[in-house]
Amino acid sequence: MLASIFISDNTEPFHEVCQHSGERKGVFWYTGHVMQSKTDKELLDSFVATGDGAAFAELVSRYTPMVYRACRRLLGNDHDAEDATQAAFVVLARKAGNLRQEGRLNGWLHRVARLVALEALRKRMQHERNQMECALWQESLAPDLSETEHDAVRSHVDAELDGLSAILREAIVLRYLRGFNEQAAAAAAGCPLGTMKRRASDGIAKLRQRLAKRGVALGGAALVGLLTSEASAAVPETLLPSILATVKTAVATTATATGTTSTVAMLAKGAMKAMFLAKVKMVAAVAAVIAVGGAGVTTYVAVAKEQAKPEPQMAAAQPKPSAAEAGVKSAGVAVAQAVDTGAPAETNTAVLVNYVRLKHQQMDSAAAAETFRVHEAYQRLFRGMETGDAAAVSNAYSFIRARIGQYEARPGDPEPDPGLNTPAWQYVLDAHAAWGEFSQWTPSLLRTYGDDILSSIPSNAVLFAGTDPGRFVLSAFNALAGTNGVLIVTQNALADNLYLDYARRLYGDRMSLPGQADRAKAFQIYVEEVNSGKRVKNAGMDIKDGRVTVEGVAGVMEINGILAQMIFERNKDKHQFFVEESYVIPWMYPFLTPHGLILRLNSEPTSLTAAMVAEDHAFWARYEAKLRSQATFGADIRAQKTYAKMRSAMGGVYAFRGRFDDAEKAFMQARRLFPESPEANYRLVQDVLLRQNRFEEALRVMNQYREILPSWVRICAKEGEAIELRTEQDKVDRMIDYIKTLEAQQGTGIWQQKTQGGR
């Protein structure tokens, strides 16, 4: 690590460069005419040898636009892209000594940019679970670039560029991502003009081939046009001085600073860890090839089979096992015993085995009928679940999770495998998620939950099931009824094409489900209503070149809600509807009434009668007593969370109807069932207390919740959810500040304006 950085010639410290650089004059900007004639290698040599700050500043000036745009493409917002860009140059400062022998920075920095951006994306997705992006394409797209091609290139171009050789990657970065003409690119690469032309041409051809393997057949002119359009994206003027200041701090300290510097340091650390893991894998691959070369054909086959297994992870990189993972071993033993002994059909284990076999059979049948390929990893996973081989299940799922592209990327994960992201995935997801749920509940409570909900719903009714237990546990028990069962559809995944296709295979002959045109219409409705002010914009939405992008769980759930309404309107005359709520879907609320543990979605808006409300409170009082009479309930966190969330859903309906006393009673009961419930605590404050100006009580609830947050974070960690205590505390603190602000504004014109419309 460099102890300090100085500018050669005048020995001015690096921090002085930072102080002057924002004015586009002084040392940093003035040195341009001196430094631009030097090659990257000369600048690196000077920086490594003497800590020449002006040399490093020139490298930052040259490469910031390319690095920033690469980060911006993956992260989608300026703030995160700026942090990632700073982290990339922190990595450069720390790795400069390893690069000075070659001096070729273009391809290397592009790879680093992508790694720090992936690390930033991983950090972001820890706090934004189930994040999903939905795109609506319009007719204004260029005719030589189809909708599918445009989307795939935007998503995958940097990943596939990273897979090219260093020489070809450098040529594409120089020519298209940095915008150099052929002569300037050749000079920068230190090669003849003809060589640069050939490298750029070969690079585009190779990149097209790699994209084609992902299912994207894209013309060379269209790909070049897309790449060159990125070279003109604006770069914030304040970014360069921020990079210089951040790098100075990073190379002179152990990165213990707070704020942005801390964020940048974490991103740089994660990227360097990923680089290290990549080297480890490369060394292992070379060793395997050497071993094969000296051992003949038999050894080659053995090595090939071994390489087909999930890649081992370094021990230090392994996440702490979740409660579900910890329960898999015992679940596997129970399944194996059930298979061996022919356990009776009514046991939970037999239900799970039969459900897994059903999903396996459905997957194979669909693949045969529609000719899509089933990845061997999926077959291994099913075989492991059917035989109770917990180790095989764990290995197969780890292999899939790292490559499916449906989850946040972790350092060292390989590139997504398009062969996994096929219609087969939905069958695998349903089966494996049920396997996980069955391992987390105590058997008696699991059976109680499944039986009590399904027995309350008539045959052939539609259940919108949103939570994991609601979808996966209920689906497994529902399979016992066969074609006489309930039609279970999750409202949380309707915007996903693969899920809609899956639902049509299951229920297409029994109910009407949205098609591709309906999905596009739902996106269009959302955009138009946001633009007109009819719908609140509660998610990221961007319209560029005819592409409408909705990002974030709130926005996706809005679109899911529109599709759920289509299903309801088209089927309400033939089917009764019920809801097991996950996220709030506002259009449903006038139609909802209590129905035991869940909600009934009536065909028309329905009033809440006094008798309905009295029966609901009586039912839940009896049910709470029933749960507490079971010795295992106090230790079954999964059951506590699930029941508290269901009770909070009914509390939300009461609050929507203005029945605040009934809502408060429901939320307080949910808090008794599971004190750490975020739904019960936040909704009690927002839906009841603040709407009645009960600020002191609202503050008391939030302060109580803040005190038990460490318990909530520990519970999440046991279940494999990456929840950070500081982040959760910040959310509560913001709510507390908001309550205090409302209290201070009470009685003022601002307060009246905020509260005129009610909810």
Could you give phi then psi for residue 464, rounded to 5 degrees?
Answer: -80, 105
**pLDDT, position 94:** 83
Using pLDDT thresholds of 50, 70 and 90, give the confidence band for residue 604: very high
Specify the 3-state DSSP secondary structure of 465.
Answer: strand
Residue 347: what residue type?
T
Mean of pLDDT over the chain: 77
Average pLDDT over residues 525-536: 83
Highest mean pLDDT among 22-31, 107-116, 304-313: 107-116
Per-residue pLDDT, averaged over 535-546, amounts to: 59
For 507-531, what is the HEC assignment?
Answer: HCCCCCCCCHHHHHHHHHHHHHHHH
Pairing of strands 487-489, 462-465: parallel
pLDDT, tens digit, 9 for 90 and up, residues 157-179? 777 787 788 788 888 888 888 88
Q: All domains of the chain, ordered by start, with CATH?
A: 14-278 (no CATH), 324-440 (no CATH), 441-585 (no CATH), 608-755 (1.25.40.10)
Reading the block at residue 254, the tokens are: 């152990």
| Most confident of the ranges 324-328, 370-374, 590-594 | 590-594
Amino acid identity, residue 716? C
Q: Which two tokens stand for residue 416?
A: 């997504």
* 680-711 residue pLDDT tens: 999 999 999 999 999 999 999 999 999 988 88
Q: Is residue 323 pLDDT above 70, yes or no?
A: no
pLDDT in tens, 373-417: 999 999 999 999 998 888 899 999 999 989 988 777 777 888 889
Which residue did the predictor score with more confidence, 316 or 438?
438
From 287, 340, 350, 284, select the one nearest 314 (Cα to Cα).
Answer: 284
Question: Which segments of 296-405 does DSSP mark as H helices, in order?
Answer: 296-307, 323-341, 348-370, 376-387, 390-403
The mean pLDDT value for 483-488 works out to 91
Band (pLDDT 50/70/90 cuts) for residue 275 is low
Q: In what order do the strands lie in the sheet with 540-544?
A: 133-137, 547-551, 540-544
pLDDT reading at 590 higher than 80: yes
Start-to-end CA distance of the chain, whole Å, equals 57
The whole-number pLDDT of residue 347 equals 79
Model confidence at 46, pLDDT cuts 50, 70, 90, reads: confident
Q: Which of 297-301, 434-438, 646-650, 751-755 tops mean pLDDT?
A: 646-650
Amino acid at 591: F
How far apart CA 669 and CA 571 sit, in angstroms, is 34
- Backbone angles phi and psi of 547, in degrees to 5: -100, 125
The per-residue pLDDT for range 427-483, each reduced to its tens digit, is: 999 999 999 999 889 999 999 999 999 999 999 999 999 999 999 999 999 998 888
Quickly list H helices, 31-101. 32-35, 40-50, 53-75, 78-99
pLDDT of residue 15: 37
One-letter amino acid identity for 41?
A: K
Neighbour tally for 149: CB within 10 Å: 20
Judge whether residue 12 has pLDDT over 80.
no
In the structure encoding, which two tokens stand for residue 27, read together?
A: 């040392």
> Is the confidence at residue 609, as pLDDT, over 50?
yes
pLDDT at 223: 78
Q: Would you mind telling me the total number of residues written for the chain in this entry?
A: 759
